[in-house]
Amino acid sequence: MPSLSDAAFVCCLGSLRGQIYLILGLKTVILTPSILEDYIFYQTFLDSGDLVRNKMSKQKHSASSTRWLKEHFDDKYANEARKKGFRSRAIFKIEEIQNKDKLLKPGMTVVDLGAAPGGWSQFAAKVVGEGGRVIACDLLPMESIAGVSFLQGDFREEAVLNALLDRIQPEMVDVVMSDMAPNMAGNLSVDQPRAMYLVELALDMCRQVLAPNGSFVVKVFQGEGFDDYVKAVRDLFKVVKIRKPDSSRSRSREVFIVATGYKG
């Protein structure tokens, strides 16, 4: 285990395809997508409304960071992902959902929102095969994956959205997937609305591109706005289920809404 510097709070230390990435932050917390899923509701985030003026001492930050690092590298899913060359441990979440709900089939067209570093796209491309298509989009860069068309950009911007739609249309898609999450500030009154805004965007994407009887899977954080969002999804789909995969950390408020039979 590497030593943790007192000069700056260590936000995360992760492994991606055998390489180690260390990210330090004093005023801004930046997490790589592969580590973000593990760290979003980590206790130091929950306890701090402002990481710069946090009541915890540097020593406590370092101690709690060390605990998280140990947990991450002891995590069986993270270790399995590294051994198998998967982009992130998130691949096991979509795999569990697929095993239960059979959303993906050979030949399908899939849109993956918030795709980087590519775990879900990697899994989807394998299932849909050469006869299918996976169109992925993320703010952050993503290494190329066979069978995946990747667009880097913020699809909230008109130019990026139009570029994404150009890659999809005139065809409609069979599945919309979203593993999007915002940059967390550590203040739930700020973070939850940001998270809900992203899932609303994902649902709006369904309205634009999803074929009748298509499917939707989206990561949602339980909290204010969750129940209303589930109701909105039920209005658009025939069957809606809430999944908490075994590979999702028990302390995290993330769940996955799995919706099938788009009423389009």
What average pLDDT does the chain have? 79
- Is 118 annotated to bind a ligand? Reply is yes
212 has pLDDT over 80 = yes
**pLDDT (tens digit, 9 = 90+) per residue, 176-201?**
999 999 887 788 889 999 999 999 99
pLDDT band (50, 70, 90) for residue 69: low
Which alpha helices (H) appear in the chain, and where do they start and end? 33-39, 43-46, 58-74, 76-84, 91-101, 119-128, 158-168, 188-209, 226-236
Among candidate residues 219, 238, 241, 244, the one labeled active-site is 219
Residue with the two structure tokens 């099938």: 260
**pLDDT (tens digit, 9 = 90+) per residue, 227-256?**
999 999 999 999 999 999 988 888 889 999
Q: Clarify whether 219 is annotated catalytic.
A: yes
Structure token digits, residue 80: 């399995």
- Is 204 annotated to bind a ligand? Reply is no
Q: Where in the chain is the domain with CATH 3.40.50.150?
A: 88-262
State the pTM of this model.
Answer: 0.74
Query: What CATH number should be reported for the domain whose range is 88-262?
Result: 3.40.50.150
pLDDT attached to residue 67 = 62
- Is 154 annotated to bind a ligand? Reply is yes
